[in-house]
Amino acid sequence: MQERRALPMPKINTDLLDFVLHTPRWYWIIAAGLLLLLGAAGVSEGLIIVIGLQLLGLSNVQLWAVFITNFIFWVGISHAGVMVSAILRLTHAEWRRPITRCAEVLAIFSLMTAGLFPLIHTGRVWRTIYWFLPYDFTRGIWPSVRSALIWDPSAIVTYLTGTILFVYVDLIPDLAVARDRSHGWRHALFSVLAMGFKGTSRQWRIQTAAGMLLSALILPVFVSVHSIVAWDLSMAILPGWHSTILAPYFVIGAVHSGVAGVVTTMVAIRKALRAYDYITPEHFDTIGRLQIVVAFGYIFFFLMDFYFGLFAREPVEVAIWELRLTTPPINLLFFLQVITAVLIPLPIWFFRRFRRSVSAMFWTSISVNIGMWLERYLLVTNPVSLKQPFTFMWVPVYVPQPVEYIITIGGLAFASFGILTFAKLLPIIPLWDVKEGQVLLQRVRIGRVTVPGVIRD
């Protein structure tokens, strides 16, 4: 990943601050479209509050469905953002420079989107205060600390705080540049946010050390958050859920889906900001290689989940796989999941030509996330539908209802609007990181050829 063009420093400032300081017409059109979708989701949520949960496809046993699927899916997407950024920083991967921030911003807004879904899922949103406040002070009825309602918000808020801090520390030098190039309210805002950064050697040392330290600290947090989400399910004695592999399987699935999310965001940012000199085919090539490795890890865990579901030949575990493999329409969704998450994208990524094609990478990344959403959906809905089969004689098949579709699309609109707004207000491609990469870039002559090289610190 050393094929970068040499770019003059003033051009980097101009190119990467252009979208922050000037607003093109398309921005308003896209923002309006996203706000329209968000409004529709808001109306749907309002209907749920006013009319009740009967608007959803839930039933006597199917109490967790699309909203919990969305929660798990978006938590998963948020993971690779931080993982890509933190691991690439710690390993000093040169190619990381233009893409780390869009990965981190994706993590922040995905996590915020994820956080909305458990609230929507409850129906009576206002009653969520009892998740952390006592239901009755006088009688001392406190929420159980063993409840997922305590674990999840604690983990997610910790992760969100850490991720925001991670992004903010990295942003400070760019905020200083934006401060020096802006006027009016933007200047005032950037002045406050830049916290007096002037680029002294001491400030750079602290900023670099803080970035590395946060990279190392955020990684265990990211693993723990999705593991906790997985343990919400695996602690229940339900077939398909009560499995020792669920936490690592969730994490590898999150990385698979999240790296694809990063690719989708990279393509969108590249196109929107016309950052063709910064996010190049080489970046897609390298992240495509990473996707191959992650996909193999995902396949391994998927096969373990499948094999060990049948290993002990317990009837209820076998019933889950029968449902997924032989019962329409669930089996169709299952095959669609396998095809879109692995069978289509993986062979494509093996070819360098396709890895360097922006459109091929975009569509394969979309395909992966369709598959991963379906995987979460089947994982959540199937085992719940088999819960207590002898207790309920009548168990209707779960079918998502229109409000569930609208709110799901609203979640996508929320995350997209968040990223777009961030990119409008703040530089989403890190100026200082790109400039540092330019400084470290060297050419080395070996025999008759000149090859790219980098200064090793």
Partner 1 sequence: MLALATLAAAGVVALVELLLGGARSPASWGYVAAALAFLLSTAQAAPPLAFASRLARGFWGISLRRAADLWVVAGLVTTPLLIVLLTRLPDWHNRPSIWLNWPGAPGVWDAVGITVLLLAGLALLWAGARPDRAAARALRGGSASAWRGTVRAWSVLTLGMKALGGLYLLVLVFVHLLVVSDLALSLVPGWSSPNMPPYHAVTALQAGIATTLLTLAALRYFGGLERYIRRDAFHAAGKLLLSLSLLWFYFTWAELLTYWYGRTPAELHLLDLLMFGPYLGLFAAAALLNFVLPFLVLLWNRVRLTVAGPTLAAALVLLGNYVDRVRIYVAAWSVAGPPRPELDQVPAAQWPGLPEVLVLLGMPAAALLLYLLALRLLPAVSLWEYRAGALLEVERPYLKTRVPVIAKPS
CB-based contact 436:97 (threshold 8 Å)? yes
**CB 237, min distance to partner 1, A:** 6
Between CA 400 and CA 407 the distance in angstroms is 11
CB-based contact 392:63 (threshold 8 Å)? no
By beta-carbon proximity to partner 1, the closer residue of 223 and 275 is: 223
Establish if 307 lies at the interface with partner 1 (CB under 8 A).
yes
Instruction: Write out the H or E segment, with its range, that includes residue 444.
Output: strand 441-446
Instruction: Write out the H or E segment, with its range, that includes residue 441.
Output: strand 441-446
**CB 86, min distance to partner 1, A:** 12
**CB 209, min distance to partner 1, A:** 11
Establish if 82 lies at the interface with partner 1 (CB under 8 A).
no
Question: Does 427 sit behind a cis peptide bond, omega within 30 degrees of 0 on the bond before it?
Answer: no
Q: Hey, which residues between 187 and 226 contact partner 1 (CB under 8 A)?
A: 220, 223
By beta-carbon proximity to partner 1, the closer residue of 127 and 443 is: 443
Between CA 351 and CA 367 the distance in angstroms is 17
By beta-carbon proximity to partner 1, the closer residue of 313 and 353 is: 313
Q: Residue 91, Cβ neighbours under 10 Å: how many?
A: 10
By beta-carbon proximity to partner 1, the closer residue of 243 and 367 is: 243
Establish if 150 lies at the interface with partner 1 (CB under 8 A).
no
CB-based contact 453:442 (threshold 8 Å)? yes
Which residues, in sequence order, are CB contacts of 330 under 8 Å at separation 6+?
323, 324, 378, 382
Establish if 442 lies at the interface with partner 1 (CB under 8 A).
yes
**CB 354, min distance to partner 1, A:** 17
From 72-80, 131-139, 159-167, 299-307, span contacting partner 1 (CB under 8 A):
299-307
Establish if 234 lies at the interface with partner 1 (CB under 8 A).
yes
Give the x/- contact pattern for partner 1 in 309-328, rule: CB under 8 A. Answer: xxxxx---------------
Pairs from 122-127 (Cβ < 8 Å, separation ≥ 24): 123/48, 123/49, 123/52, 123/53, 124/49, 125/49
CB-based contact 166:214 (threshold 8 Å)? yes
Chain residues that interact with partner 1, rule: CB under 8 A: 1-3, 90, 220, 223, 227, 231, 234-235, 237, 242-248, 282, 296, 300-301, 304-305, 307-313, 442, 444, 446-447, 449, 451-457
